[in-house]
Amino acid sequence: MSRRRNVQTFLRALVTEVRAERVTFMAGSIAYHAFVSLLPFLLVVLLLVTRVGDAATASRVVAAIGTYFSPNASGLLTGVVEGAQQETSLSLLGVLTLLWGALKIFRSLDTAFSDIYETGSANTLGDTFADAIVVLVALVCGLLAVGLVSTQLSFGGGTVGDLLARGVAVVALTVVFAPVFYVFPDTDVTVREIVPGTVLTAVGWTVLESLFRYYVAFTGTSETFGVVGTILLIVTWLYFNGLVLLVGAAFNAVLAGRSDDVAPIGWGETELAETTDFADSLDALCRDLDGTESVTVTVGDTGVTLPAPDEHDCGLEQVDRPALLGGDEARGHLSLRWVGER
């Protein structure tokens, strides 16, 4: 299959995945949770920066983060956050309240990613909170670094300076989004596997930020409708950014052959060896389970012998992936089930 046809097939598969997982609907849910969680999240960032540096540094960091919003939205959010920060102490209850509010958006994202990667059964409540906390910590650290670096950089005016600023924004957002695309799928993914969707999302966010700035400057919507217009702009901005983020996740899932909603693309760029140690071992184990009377499970230095399972299921499949992600991949599964009376 030619490269052009591969791309066309992939794009059709991506559209199918987006429709099957109702990505546009999930983006609306994420926009709502993001709007509710935005101020608590920025307050967490501001409080942490205040403890690391000083109030002036904290204000510059929040202002730098605010550049990803429209001018009026940035001014409104920065003013509200700084005003609230003056009356917020770092008491245990205050921190827990802020963290609870900030975690809502990450819990919503974790659920959306699990749906796209078909790993919802493994996405328990405890797993959702654990993933959300890990990504929250990583994202806060990333935003702190981006904000602090942004306060020290100056690209000047003109077209060249604007392009440099956009390039730095893409790199910064790629670093910030990497934990989201690595942790939330709730399955083992490689760093190389998450890069395409992460970069796509970073570019998409940067383009959207520019478009919204031009739109606000051209229409003067927020000046005409005041706070209400600004809030509508923020919600709309969050919706489209959530949509881009989920499309990036679907992009990675389809490209890596991790979606059950689309047929294999058939890249044909690399060939998997006919046999591997892992495949041979799994195949032999499956055959032995059919007639055995007992099985011994060993983990580390601990082993336990059990009667033969009442039910077992095993299988091996070859996943066709592009050379960009390391080529074709073999994946196997084995499940054992015992049914006993109490």
Q: Which ranges of 53-152 does DSSP label H, i.e. alpha helix?
A: 55-66, 71-85, 92-116, 125-152
- Give the Cα separation of 284 and 74 in Å (integer): 61
Among 328, 196, 195, 200, which residue's Cα sits nearest to residue 267? 328
Q: Which of 291, 249, 242, 210 is nearest to 25 (CA)?
A: 242
Residue 111: which of 88, 95, 135 has the closest Cα?
Answer: 135
State pLDDT tens for residues 104-125: 777 788 888 888 988 766 566 6
Which residue(s) pair with 315 in the sheet? 333
| Residue 221: C-alpha distances to residues 70, 80, 82, 198, 229 (Å) | 11, 20, 24, 31, 6
pTM beyond 0.75: no
State pLDDT tens for residues 261-286.
Answer: 887 676 655 555 544 566 777 777 77
Residue 329 to residue 321: CA distance in whole angstroms: 7
pLDDT(250) > 90: yes
Tell me the C-alpha distance between 340 and 179, whole Å: 42
Q: Is the pLDDT of residue 332 over 60?
A: yes
Tell me how far apart the alpha carbons of residues 150 and 289 are, in angstroms, rounded to a whole number.
60
